[in-house]
Amino acid sequence: MNESMIQCRGVSKSYRKGSTLVTPLEALDLDVPKGEFLALMGPSGSGKTTLLNLLSGIDSPTSGSLVIAGSEIAKLSRRDLTKWRASHVGYIFQLYHLVPVLTAFENVELPLLLSPLSRKDRHARVETALALVG
């Protein structure tokens, strides 16, 4: 059996909306083996975005354990979580959000400026990415 890339045990997320307690995720158990693809589907309000925010370290679970690639991300310091997100997380949005005053090259390079890559390595990755999409 493949080792888990994502492992959720009893993951819950609650927040207050006025005086109402909202719980979009309650006691979620999930294992995603390394190399698997996963599609999240469900009606509005079923917790899809909440789960993605938890998996990416944008938000923290109210309870439960969330381990990604061997790191229990809810236990990382803010600084370590920021480093973890910069090296492990990428989002693909339904609508693309480019900075209109930047070239295609500069838009692709922009998130890499936060990485420890050298200018030469950044540019090589940008060229590769642009070549892949034409």
CATH of the domain at 40: 3.40.50.300
pLDDT (mean) for 74-101: 85
Predicted local distance difference test score (pLDDT) of residue 2: 61
Confidence of residue 91 (pLDDT cuts 50, 70, 90): confident
Global pTM value: 0.73
pLDDT (mean) for 16-30: 94
Say how many residues make up the chain: 134
* Residue 10 neighbours by CB under 8 Å, 6+ apart: 27, 28, 29, 63, 64, 65
Predicted local distance difference test score (pLDDT) of residue 87: 83
Same domain, 11 and 76: yes
Half-sphere exposure of residue 42: CA atoms within 13 angstroms, side-chain side = 11
pLDDT at 8 over 80: yes
Same domain, 36 and 10: yes
**Average of per-residue pLDDT values in the chain:** 91
pLDDT at 57 over 70: yes
Cα dihedral sign, 126-127-132-134: positive
Same domain, 82 and 108: no
Predicted local distance difference test score (pLDDT) of residue 105: 96
Burial string for 36-47 (b: 16+ CB within 10 Å, else e) reads eeeeeeeeeeeb
Predicted local distance difference test score (pLDDT) of residue 106: 95
Same domain, 78 and 26: yes
Q: What percent of the chain has pLDDT over 70?
A: 98
Total number of domains in the chain: 2
Note down the domain range covering 110: 104-133
Triad 25, 26, 28: Cα angle to 5°: 85
